[in-house]
């Protein structure tokens, strides 16, 4: 493709835009309770959402960041609840250690089983995921029932995630599922309230994978 035009090109450096945004976020956020390791995750979440309230509502298990970095470096798998997360994650940084991003929600056997049990595909996808991904990172940004099911499986001892990034968005059970996650003593990243979403979880995971490659 020929990109030549008669227009004078507008020269904008991509890194400058991101750097300027990060400066603005730090200035506008001001004082915050996050550690130096947690802050890049909060900063990238605010960067992706322009939502300071969401950033301030984030809660980290004390071991979340080191556990996430260790899981990526160990080549552990990432399980996402929906394909939007799989599309958004910077997969090169995960694949270079041997990991990859997996989504089971649209697998025919998951759809079939959800229909048979008259339940959500999200729940069945977590049941399938735990068979393949012990020690992996679970990235849940859409489906509250996926997070609730994962929590149930952890409590039963059937699931042992390396890190859970649980920030589903919405009204039915979204805030409640995150309240339950915060009660677990396993590495987690979450937030308080209804806000969240796939883009937010992608931002958090991308911040951690950046730390893993540095």
Ligand X SMILES: C/C1=C2N=C(/C=C3N=C(/C(C)=C4\N[C@@](C)([C@@H]5N=C1[C@](C)(CCC(=O)O)[C@H]5CC(=O)O)[C@@](C)(CC(=O)O)[C@@H]4CCC(=O)O)[C@@](C)(CC(=O)O)[C@@H]\3CCC(=O)O)C(C)(C)[C@@H]/2CCC(=O)O
Nearest distance from residue 116's CB to ligand X, in Å? 13
Question: Angle CA(61)–CA(62)–CA(66) in degrees, nearest 5?
Answer: 100
178 contacts 191 by C-beta, under 8 angstroms: yes
Footprint of ligand X (CB under 6 A):
82-84, 105-106, 114, 120-122, 141-146, 169-172, 174, 197-198
State how far the Cα of 139 lies from the Cα of 104, in Å rounded to an integer. Answer: 12
Burial class of residue 173 (count of CB atoms within 10 Å of its CB; 0-12, 13-18, 19+): middle
Question: Angle CA(141)–CA(142)–CA(146) in degrees, nearest 5?
Answer: 95
State the CB neighbour count (10 A cutoff) for residue 134.
Answer: 13
Nearest distance from residue 181's CB to ligand X, in Å? 14
Q: Among residues 32, 47, 61, 102, which one is catalytic?
A: 47
Tell me which residue has its CB nearest to ligand X: 170
Q: Which is nearer to ligand X, 136 or 166 (CB)?
A: 166
- 47 part of the active site: yes
Q: Map 178-192 to HEC letters.
A: HHHHHCCCCCEEEEC
Q: Which is nearer to ligand X, 67 or 122 (CB)?
A: 122
Q: Which is nearer to ligand X, 20 or 182 (CB)?
A: 182
Q: Which is nearer to ligand X, 94 or 175 (CB)?
A: 175
Positions marked catalytic? 47
């Amino acid at each position: 493709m020929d990109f030549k035009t008669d227009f004078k090109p507008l020269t904008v450096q991509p890194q400058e835009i991101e750097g300027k945004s990060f400066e603005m976020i730090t200035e506008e956020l001001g004082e915050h309770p996050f550690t130096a390791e947690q802050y890049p995750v909060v900063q990238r979440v605010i960067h992706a959402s322009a939502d300071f309230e969401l950033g301030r509502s984030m809660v980290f298990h004390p071991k979340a960041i080191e556990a996430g970095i260790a899981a990526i470096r160990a080549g552990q798998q990432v399980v996402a609840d929906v394909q939007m997360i799989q599309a958004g994650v910077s997969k090169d940084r995960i694949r270079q250690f041997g990991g990859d991003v997996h989504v089971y929600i649209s697998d025919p056997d998951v759809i079939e089983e959800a229909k048979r049990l008259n339940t959500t595909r999200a729940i069945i996808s977590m049941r399938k995921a735990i068979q393949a991904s012990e020690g992996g990172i679970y990235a849940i940004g859409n489906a509250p029932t996926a997070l609730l099911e994962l929590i149930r499986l952890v409590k039963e001892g059937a699931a042992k995630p390396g890190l859970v990034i649980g920030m589903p968005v919405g009204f039915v059970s979204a805030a409640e599922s995150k309240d339950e996650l915060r009660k677990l003593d396993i590495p987690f990243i979450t937030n308080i309230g209804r806000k969240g979403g796939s883009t937010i979880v992608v931002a958090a995971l991308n911040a951690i994978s950046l730390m893993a490659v540095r």
